Amino acid sequence: MKQTLRLICLSTLVSLGGFAGAQPLAVTVMEGQGFHATLIGLLSALVFGGVLLLAPFQPALAVRFGAMATYQAGKAVAVVGFLGCASAVAAWHWAVAFLLLGFGGALTWPLTDSLIATQAPADQKGAWLGLFQAGMGIAFAVGPFVSAVFATWPRALFLGAAGMLVLSSLPLLGKHLPVAEEDDSVESAPWAAWRRAGWLGGVALLGGFFENGTHTAGTLAALELGWSSATAVALAGVMALGSFAIQQPLGRAADRQGTRSMIIWAMGVLVLSLAALPLISLWQPLMWGLGLVWGGASGALYTLAMTGAAQVFTGRDVAAVTTLIVLGYTAGSALGPIAGGLAVDLSPITGIAWIFGSLALAGWALALGRKSLG
pLDDT of 324 > 70? The answer is: yes
User: Which of 189, 215, 223 is CA-nearest to residue 317?
Assistant: 189
- pLDDT value at position 261? 80
Of 42, 64, 45, give the one whose Cα is nearest residue 53. 45
DSSP for 97-133 reads HHHHHHHHHHTTHHHHHHHHHHHS-GGGHHHHHHHHH
Model pLDDT, residue 372: 61
Task: Record the pTM.
Answer: 0.74
3-state helix, strand, coil split of the chain in percent (to 5) is: 85, 0, 15
pLDDT exceeds cutoff 60 at 182: no
User: What are the structural domains, with CATH classification, of the chain?
Assistant: 2-170+189-369 (1.20.1250.20)
pLDDT, greater one: 101 or 349: 101
State the pLDDT at residue 184: 47
Q: What are phi and psi of 151, to 5 degrees?
A: -60, -30
Q: Cβ contacts of residue 73 below 8 Å, gap of 6+?
A: 65, 107
Whole-number average pLDDT of the chain: 81
Q: Kindly indicate the confidence band of residue 94, based on its pLDDT and cuts at 50, 70 and 90.
A: very high
Of residues 300 and 179, more confidently modeled:
300
Is a pLDDT exceeding 80 seen at residue 145?
Answer: no
* CA–CA dist 109, 256 (Å, integer): 27
Please tell me which residue, 64 or 182, carries the higher pLDDT value: 64
Grouping H, G, I as helix, E, B as strand and the rest as coil, residue 288 is helix
In this structure, of 49-53, 88-92, 115-119, 235-239, the range with the lowest mean pLDDT score is: 115-119
Q: What is the pLDDT of residues 205-224, one digit of tens each?
A: 998 898 878 878 888 888 88
Per-residue confidence (pLDDT) for residue 120, from 0 to 100? 66
Short-list 33, 78, 342, 354, CA closest to 216: 342
Range from 88-92, 256-260, 274-278 that averages highest in pLDDT: 88-92
